[in-house]
A and B are shown apart, each in its own frame.
Chain A
Amino acid sequence: MDIKFLKRFLRRKSSVIGGIIILIFIFVAIVGPFLCTQDPLKIDLRNKYQNPSRKHWLGTDNLGRDTLTRLVYGARITLLVSFVSVFAGTIVGLILGVIAGYFGGRVDTIIMRITDILLAFPGLLLAIAIVAILGSGITNTMIAIAFYSVPYITRIVRASVISIRELEYIQACEVVGCSNFEIIFYHIIPNSMSQVIVNTTLRLGTAILTSSSLSFLGLGVQPPNPEWGAMLSKAREALQSTPLAALAPGIAITLVVISFSMLGDGLRDALDPKLKNV
């Protein structure tokens, strides 16, 4: 069953490329800092906005810090923020979606109305609002992103649960004596997972954009943390003289977000025919 899925997935070159790029970034995030010879926080004002040289492969930023090193450390922060926040948001969304879809009635109505209200706000605005209330910093950025991911996941899970709930095998579970918990945990959630996986993967890309945007605006991860969005923001002032300082983080963000997108598309297509057969 899973071999067919892999085959289908591997057929789509763009998704495979996306997947490989993500893996490379994850590798860089984990191992990279150990390979870096320079200190991402070491300030060296005499060498600010340097072009690429033997010492600084990608040049330096506004405070003379090595761009490449900051990029590598920044990968860790960026990926950490997006993975943790989306993961948290997915868990909460999964729980709410299952409760709303399975139990229906008033619980469903309440949850869905709240979801609808949250979805009415553009994601970034919501994130900004939350950070404005809670304050800036990594943790609050993660909370903000998690918060606005919840309604998307809730909706998708709920739809999936509702369509599965009426299938005969769920009725069969009731007849053999499964409790509600067993039905939800062993049957409904596993069968909803493909939708969740696809959506979560796509959300990861969005999360990075949001986190970068927040830092760009000075609201998210605070200096001197090397977050890509913050780096991009600061390097705008040197766009004419040292474009690389802005391009490097900019390209990194773009690359990762597109890769998540391609990966998500590929997952969806690979999982979809299976859903059709089911």
Chain B
Amino acid sequence: MNHKQSKLLEVKDLKMYFSVKSDGLFQPKKQLKAVDGVSFTIYQGETLGLVGESGCGKSTTGKLIVKILHPTDGQIFFKGKDIVSISKKEFREMRKEIQMIFQDPYSSLDPRRSNGKTIGEPLEVNKIKGNTREKVLAIMKEVGLRKEFYDRYPHEFSGGQRQRVGIARALALNPKLIVCDEPVSALDVSIQAQILNLMKELQKAHRLTYLFISHDLSVVKHISDRIAVMYLGGIVELAGKKELFDHPLHPYTKALLESVPVPDPEKRKEQGKLKGDVPSPIDPPEGCTFHTRCNQCMDICKKDVPEFKEIEKNHFVKCFLYNRNE
């Protein structure tokens, strides 16, 4: 990994806690720790994959970065500038450089607006000069939408085509960073491939940087350069793609890799090795959040929280097996 690349986004100890209704009249209010101390860096031009199962906080992290949510604590630096504490007005300019592709092609487009208007809206709202319609048609061509689709409405199209509209909208402002929140999860398998290829092509053509959030390991592996594995609000391991798959360190990463079935009947794996359910983020376990399901759990894991440390070059793990918190 070439660390001479410039840091585009840096996240430090990000936290997002939601207040949850308490159980009874006199019980204290509970907190849902959706994101609980997450730190990572994204370098210009790369794709960082953020993978994890439900409740791990990956979508929330994505929303924090595009500032749909305001963090409870922590810092986010974009091109070296702190975007958490700046005013709304100051952020308006930077907003254009951080865009998002959403998961559900059926609810991420306004059903009452034509495709052309949806893709053109970022340009209109930010008062970008120039012929909006022409710009929109150019982007549509790039994402593989015929120009006749300009005046048509989302409900006339399939999931894959709607997702292309969503991608076009994200590209409209020529962003530097695109947060992709499960962009292919709701699509049919044969369409997923089309969209993934499209995203790779666009990345090359526009020198984009992606934060690719997904629960599907195979998809994440295909598109990412580096991958961060999340569990119950924290990153447990972060490494280059090949390194992570060849030498997973964290027990959760290992369990995850073992659970994913492979489309080859000759390579059947033993299933069900990771027992138990994911604990609730309202009542996370003490100490290391994974200790309740870990087959290598030690005494210290139940009491203390391990540090997220660089164990090997560019390979970070949050586990007492690899560092003892001296």
Contacts and interface: CB of A to CB of B under 8 A. Distances in A.
Find out whether A and B make contact in their complex, taking CB atoms under 8 A apart as touching: yes
A177 B169 contact: no
B111 A171 contact: no
B96 interface: yes
Contacts of A167: 107-108
B108 A172 contact: yes
A178 interface: yes
B95 A1 contact: no
A169 B108 contact: yes
Interface string A174-215: 111111001000110011000000000000000000000000
| A1, A167, A177, A191: most-surrounded residue (chain B CB, <10 A) | A177
B34 to A, nearest CB: 16
Interface string A155-175: 000000000000111011111
B95 A168 contact: no
B25 interface: no
A177 B155 contact: no
Contacts of B155: 1, 277-278
A111 B305 CA distance: 46
Contacts of B149: none
Query: How many interface residues does chain A have, given as a range?
Result: 20 to 34
Given A176-B125, A177-B92, A171 B172 contact: no
A169 B106 CA distance: 9
Given A168-B102, A171-B102, A277-B155, A177 B107 contact: no
B162 to A, nearest CB: 11
Nearest to B98: A175
A176 B110 contact: no
Interface string B47-70: 000000000000000010010100
| B66, B102, B110: most-surrounded residue (chain A CB, <10 A) | B110
B148 to A, nearest CB: 16
A178 B125 CA distance: 6
B224 interface: no
B121 interface: yes
B275 to A, nearest CB: 34
B99 A169 contact: no
A1 B102 contact: no
Contact of B122 (A168, A169, A176, A187): A176
B112 interface: yes
Query: How many interface residues does chain B have, given as a range?
Result: 20 to 34
Contact of B169 (A171, A172, A190): A172
A169 B68 contact: no
A178 B63 CA distance: 16
Contacts of B173: 176-177
Contact of B100 (A1, A172, A179, A187): A172
B153 interface: yes
A187 B109 CA distance: 10
B66 A177 contact: no
B112 A182 contact: no
Given A169-B108, A169-B110, A178 B102 contact: no
Interface in B126-157: 126, 153, 155
B216 to A, nearest CB: 19
A177 B95 contact: yes
Contact of A168 (B108, B112, B121): B108
Contacts of A191: 110-112
A100 to B, nearest CB: 21
A190 B125 contact: no
B303 to A, nearest CB: 39
Contacts of A172: 100, 102, 108-109, 166, 169
B209 interface: no
Interface string B177-197: 000000000000000000000
Nearest to A176: B122
Given A177-B122, A278-B155, A171 B68 contact: yes
Given A187-B110, A191-B110, A173 B68 contact: no
Contact of A1 (B109, B121, B122, B153): B153
A182 B110 CA distance: 13
Contacts of A277: 155
Given A167-B107, A169-B108, A191-B111, A176 B99 contact: yes
B289 interface: no
Contacts of A173: 110, 121
Contacts of A174: 68
Given A172-B109, A187-B113, 11 more contacts: A168-B104, A173-B110, A175-B100, A176-B99, A176-B125, A177-B125, A187-B110, A187-B112, A191-B111, A191-B112, A278-B155
14 contacts: A1-B155, A168-B103, A168-B107, A169-B107, A171-B63, A172-B109, A174-B68, A175-B66, A176-B99, A176-B121, A176-B126, A178-B125, A191-B110, A191-B112
4 A-B pairs closest in CB distance: A176-B122, A168-B108, A278-B111, A168-B102
Interface of A: 1, 167-169, 171-179, 182, 186-187, 190-191, 277-278
